[in-house]
Amino acid sequence: MSITIPFSVLFMVGGLFFFITATLGLLRFPDFFTRLHATGKGDTLAVLLCLIGISLHEGFSLTSVKIIIIAIFMSWAQPTATHAISRAGLKCGLKPWMKKEE
């Protein structure tokens, strides 16, 4: 029983929790931009937590270094992709969801 296993379990469960919240936001929010707000941030954090948990389970090797490289890449790529999609949606004339006046 290695000492890293409880930390790995903790990180994986946290990642699954943030995946669940991001999916709930994607299904339940009323409009495109609010859905991106849920998935863009929730999925980034969840992927980072899950990758750190898996690399802790692997121990120190070339595989875990590759997993950390994937984590660094995802923490940069996911917000960029979200920004690109939301800007395209704004240029195509999607209206943000507003509270009804009157």
Partner 1 sequence: MNGFFLSIGTGLCILTFFVLYRVVFGPGVFNRIAAISAIGTKTLIILLIMGIIYDRVEMFVDISMVYAFLNFVGCLAAAKYLEMEGQEQ
Sites of contact with partner 1 (CB under 8 A): 5, 9, 12-13, 15-16, 19-20, 22-23, 26-27, 32, 35-36, 39, 43, 46-47, 50-51, 54, 57-58, 62-63, 66-67, 69-70, 73-74, 77-78, 80-82, 84-85, 87-89, 91-94
- Closer residue to partner 1 in complex, CB, 1/101: 1
Closest CA to 37 of 83, 90, 91: 83
| CB-based contact 97:33 (threshold 8 Å) | yes
Q: Is the dihedral of CA 11, 17, 20, 25 positive or negative?
A: negative
- Closer residue to partner 1 in complex, CB, 62/98: 62
